Amino acid sequence: MEEPGLLTSMAIVLGVALIGGMAARIMKLPVILGYLLSGVLIGPYGLKLISEVGDVETLAEIGVVLLMFTLGLEFSFTTLRRIGKVAVFGGTAQIVVTAALGLMVGQLLDWSLRGSVLFGFFIALSSTIIVLKTLMERGELGSPHGRVMIGILLVQDISVVPMMVILPSLDEVGFDLWISLGWAVLQAILFLGAIFAIGVWVLPWFMRRVAGGRSRELFLLTVVCLCLGAAFGAYHFGLSAALGAFIAGLLVSESEYAHQALADIRPLRDIFAILFFVSLGMLADLSFIAENPGEVAAVVVAIVLGKFVIAGLVARLFGYSAKTALFVGSGLFQIGEFSFVLAALALELEIISRDLYSLTLAAALITMLLTPFGMGLTSALYHRFIQTERGARLFASGLDPEVLDERKQLVNHAVICGYGRVAQNLGTVLERRGFSYLIIDLDPRVIDSAHERGIPHIYGDASNPEILARAELERAKVLVITFPDPIAAKLAVANARRINPRIDVVARVQRDEDSEALRKLGVAEMVRPELEAGLEIIRHTLHRFGLTMQEIQYIVNTLREEKV
């Protein structure tokens, strides 16, 4: 049978991915699972519709680069500074401890010392693209655990550089090894210095000239060239191509063109990311798993449990809540895509055996498939557990002693659950009008800021009844829920009404089914951000047609009642 060309391969991959994604969505599973299983089905170890995955893998690498570029666009230097400690020091600690776990597993299974060390390298890395896509689907990219996970993942991506230097140099000793490492570090510093210099002095001027031409095609081409150019530069200097793309996105995020760049490149990102997930599935050697079920299962269990505990403890040790630690652990227990690169290089250099290579790939694919299930199960168990008295106490966090007296003085106050940008605007208005309020948030940085400003605050999960019991809800005037998690919002309302059945609640909602559920709990005021933006556009447009403010307000109120 003639080997299909690139166009045929893409048609097969995207067509089967469409079917797999739709099937996953119908079964209410993450679409990532549909893409991965589609790759298993059509790959060289499945139906062999595509036996040569080289071309698909090349396109899939573009998907990783585009995904990391858009992540940089959505992040900012401010966000990176906030998670700096847990990312750098926590991420480094996670890599070292997890590598030690891999060494121990290898020794227990009677592998060679070198093979055990390398296996520790492989499992120390988690999958940036799997975690990122899962967080996007769950709407948790901006959550405390989402930010912590992304920070740790970025440090893992950087760690690939010394790992790739060490691999070919394993036979080197003493001075030669240090020379290789020093040269790699020097190249990395030169590249980072060059790209930041370009980003500060050249990029703003160049983007302004391109945008001034008012050509969307040229603007999109510029954005793509920046992304791929930074990725190629990073790769040329021995860094991860994905890391180079992330840094480029981070630099563009500081400009006024970030929103348009994100909007233009997102469709390209999604298509190429699908190719990446399908190509991962193609690597799954089902025959190896069938022939070695015991060894594969033992390794997968050790990786999942070990990385869950290690990543969770890292977040906890850096001051994050038990809830954040729980979600960080459940999100980082898989093996990453860069582990494939390291394992392939080690196999090419004949440092590891074919069996260890196959075992690493099998464990990586299985842990990636388990990731969406793991995060979903963690979310369900957590929200059920905190409804019990024991669970509420376990996940409760305390109120700073300095604000205990302030809390006792609160009366007719607002309790704000989640103090993000929307809630901060509310807090500013309340302060100007002389109204008192108390905030509940899981982000230690938010709590530190509130402490410095003297705002009454509680560090903890607002859906936890033990936390709400400390917010003086019996004397509160209104409960404001601003976080986007629908399960946590429903639990917060239900638990708050047990404490004070008469309290007014203003809640943020995302979907129609969430509105209905909150309405049944007695929430009269619900705000849908997208709906409110649309109503404001309607208001201004109708005003241009000469309608009176009374007529416009009647139309807007009618639409709001129909939609919420």
CATH number at residue 433: 3.40.50.720
Average pLDDT over residues 489-509: 88
pLDDT at 359 over 70: yes
* The predicted structure's pLDDT at residue 18: 92
Tens-digit pLDDT profile for residues 120-160: 989 999 988 788 878 877 767 767 788 889 889 888 877 77
More confident residue, 250 or 166: 250
Tens-digit pLDDT profile for residues 444-488: 778 878 888 888 888 778 888 878 888 888 888 999 998 877 778
391 inside domain = no
CA distances from 514 to 451, 483, 495, 526, 564 (A): 33, 13, 17, 10, 10
Share of the chain above pLDDT 70, in %: 87
Of the given ranges (41-45, 147-151, 191-195, 240-244), which has the lowest mean pLDDT?
A: 240-244
138 inside domain = yes
177 inside domain = yes
Q: Do 462 and 507 fall into the same domain?
A: yes
Pair of tokens at residue 520: 């049944």
Pair of tokens at residue 138: 């769950």
Q: Do 462 and 327 fall into the same domain?
A: no
pLDDT class of 313 with cuts at 50, 70, 90 = very high
Residues 6+ positions from 300 with CB-CB distance below 8 Å = 363, 366, 367
Q: Do 377 and 419 fall into the same domain?
A: no
pLDDT at 386 over 70: no
Pair of tokens at residue 280: 């991962």
More confident residue, 384 or 311: 311
CATH number at residue 115: 1.20.1530.20
* The predicted structure's pLDDT at residue 403: 42
What's the chain's average pLDDT? 81
Q: Taking a C-beta distance cutoff of 8 angstroms, is the pair 321, 304 a contact? A: no
Average pLDDT over residues 353-379: 87
pLDDT at 75 over 80: no
pLDDT at 171 over 90: no
Domain-terminating residue out of 317, 351, 385: 385
392 inside domain = no
* The predicted structure's pLDDT at residue 100: 92
Q: Taking a C-beta distance cutoff of 8 angstroms, is the pair 518, 490 a contact? A: yes
Q: Do 361 and 324 fall into the same domain?
A: yes
Q: Do 545 and 491 fall into the same domain?
A: no
Q: Contacts by 512-517 with C-beta closer than 8 Å and gap 24+?
A: 514/486, 514/489, 514/490, 515/564, 517/486, 517/490
393 inside domain = no
Tens-digit pLDDT profile for residues 396-440: 554 433 344 445 567 889 999 988 877 888 898 898 888 899 999
Q: Do 521 and 539 fall into the same domain?
A: no
Q: Do 352 and 446 fall into the same domain?
A: no
Q: Do 175 and 276 fall into the same domain?
A: yes
Domain-terminating residue out of 385, 417, 434: 385
390 inside domain = no
Range of the domain at 204: 6-45+54-385
Average pLDDT over residues 345-350: 76
Q: Do 340 and 430 fall into the same domain?
A: no
* The predicted structure's pLDDT at residue 172: 54
Average pLDDT over residues 343-351: 77
482 inside domain = yes
More confident residue, 510 or 376: 376
Average pLDDT over residues 35-53: 81
* The predicted structure's pLDDT at residue 164: 67
Domain-terminating residue out of 385, 420, 452: 385
Tens-digit pLDDT profile for residues 272-296: 888 888 887 887 778 888 888 888 9
Local structure of 14: helix, strand or coil = helix
Nearest residue to 340 via CA among 287, 299, 284: 284
Per the structure, the count of domains in the chain is 3
Share of the chain above pLDDT 90, in %: 11
255 inside domain = yes
Q: Do 484 and 518 fall into the same domain?
A: yes
Q: Do 409 and 367 fall into the same domain?
A: no
pLDDT class of 328 with cuts at 50, 70, 90 = very high
Q: Is 244 exposed, middle or buried (0-12, 13-18, 19+ CB in 10 A)?
A: buried
Q: Do 444 and 534 fall into the same domain?
A: no
Give the C-alpha separation, 338 to 242, whole Å: 10
CA distances from 24 to 154, 269, 510 (A): 29, 20, 22
